[in-house]
Amino acid sequence: MATMKLLYAPTSPFVRKVMVCAHLTGQADQIEWLPSAAHPIRRDDRIAAHNPLAKVPTLILDDGQSLYDSRVICEYLASVAGDTQLFPADAARRWQALMQQALGDGLLDAALLARYERTARPAERQWTDWYDAQLVKVEAGLTAIEAQASALALNPTIGEITLGCALGYLDFRFPELDWPARYPEAARWHGVFRTLPAMQATLPHDA
């Protein structure tokens, strides 16, 4: 029985982080997935009623309390399930996982800004320098992932989940970057990580 509702989009990499955590902690069937249309310009009142930022993911608990953003929701799901793998207690592993999450989230923020520049802004107002600068952040993020790829695990923390969702988003929305050709260690890890059942069950797709 569903005890939580998630305002979600099947294309969102931040929603995917939450869905992967829900699968890994055995809570996917306790979540009712509520469709929404998050957009930087067109505010979706269905989301705004629960999150002033009107972004997905937004989780609504049984008592009506809402939780956002993906970082908070993922940690909430791990805590409710008594999971100690996703957010390790050991200090060194915890900071590493949280840093990896920050890296993946930051790469995604830049990729999303680049995509919004091309898809949400009228063509005559688009700024190539802005777009290119976001892609510089994406490439620098990929370089950082490549440098640590040999240490990435398949029994994931929130760090690996976020990096997996970030790389999956680039495959989905920026195939022309062909990042696997230039970051072979990251590509090798992601090639196996993407086959995990929780990743396969949450592949992004246009609605």
Ligand X SMILES: N[C@@H](CCC(=O)N[C@@H](CS)C(=O)NCC(=O)O)C(=O)O
Binding interface with ligand X (CB under 6 A): 12, 14, 38-40, 54-57, 69-71, 105, 112
**CB of residue 12 to ligand X, shortest distance in Å:** 3
Tally the C-alpha atoms within 13 A of residue 176's C-alpha that lie toward its C-beta.
2
Nearer to ligand X, 69 or 160 (CB): 69
Nearer to ligand X, 38 or 138 (CB): 38
Any long-range contacts for 58-62 (C-beta under 8 Å, 24+ apart)?
58/6, 58/7, 59/4, 59/5, 59/6, 59/7, 59/18, 59/31, 60/4, 60/5, 60/6, 60/7, 60/34, 61/3, 61/4, 62/3, 62/4
**CB of residue 44 to ligand X, shortest distance in Å:** 8
Nearer to ligand X, 104 or 183 (CB): 104
**CB of residue 151 to ligand X, shortest distance in Å:** 24
CA distance 12 to 174: 14
Nearer to ligand X, 39 or 188 (CB): 39
CB 51 within 8 A of CB 66: yes
**CB of residue 38 to ligand X, shortest distance in Å:** 3
